Structure 1
């Protein structure tokens, strides 16, 4: 149950990151920071999913590398 709430929390953060990205289209630095924020949230969602499915964390290194 806590894992699902954690996943929901990160999805909420992802939606907020998308909202910031869409609303700050005039400022390049804000757009780049919000894109970096979205990538970090996706990385944490990937970690939660891999931990939930008992996969190796090697896939998270692939996400960071490529």
Structure 2
């Protein structure tokens, strides 16, 4: 094989790999978009839980100013 054949094969393989990679990326993007509402709910839940723990710790420290183990 001369270098032009090898170059052509390399370009074809690269194009096939890019096509497969793009297809995998699109499937992953569709999964993320399908699960997006769930991700929003989980994130909001973590925020609410963190704020609850923060306010609870502040209330306990206000009543007992010594160091608390969490």
TM-score tier (shorter): 0.3 to 0.5
TM-score, structure 2 as length reference: 0.40
Structure with higher RCO (Cα < 8 A, 6+ apart): 1
